[in-house]
Structure 1
């Protein structure tokens, strides 16, 4: 069970760290997607910080602080539920699979962390 937890969590860490970097760098696809869902560009650094904190928390959970890992995974699940809600509210269905994928990774990491 630990192997599955480790694999899923490492993927979730890399995915969230990667998209946080793209947010911090204000990548073109991030700006376009944000505009499509009606998100002000001034929010990007804050949202990137949350994703980066989630990735860091998942890493801490993986290396021996399980309560932080569970909290981080829970926070990321809630974050990406909000992202999906923003996509639905903005009727931006063409890109909804991206936050859905991140949500699936966070949820899987949460379930596996709790099962440890």
Structure 2
């Protein structure tokens, strides 16, 4: 396991965990766009839990790589879905955000 993998995976875990916690704490910069995109409020806790679980899986993957691979795949799929949601809402100025969060998760897959 390389130092680069540990750094990138730790960054991906931090970003996903931060994003998930931001939903739980109802941070305006996260939940205001969710309202704009038409995401039902009843989904918000599940979406936050998915991000936090992905972050925990990435950290666990530093010790048990198969869990990290599965968590990274899950986060890539999650953020791909988020990008699609943004595009469907025609909020083209926001599409970079899910892609920025997806990038380190995807990179961790290639560095393993």
TM-score for the superposition, normalised by structure 2? 0.95
**Residue 34 of structure 2 aligns with which residue?**
34
Secondary structure of 2:51's aligned partner:
helix
- 1:111 matched to 2:103? The reply is no
Residue of structure 1 in register with 2:22 after alignment: 22
Comparing 22-31 with 47-56, greater Cα deviation is found at 22-31
SS in 2 for 1:30: helix
Count of aligned pairs between the two proteins: 112
5+ residue gaps, structure 2, are none
Give CA deviations for 1:26-67 in whole Å, capped at 9, x if unaligned. Answer: 1112221101211111111000000000000000011x1100
Q: TM-score, normalised by structure 1?
A: 0.92
Q: What is the alpha-carbon root mean square deviation over aligned residues?
A: 1.0
Query: Counterpart of 1:8?
Result: 8
Report the Cα offset of residue 93 of structure 1.
1.3
Moved over 4 A (4+): none
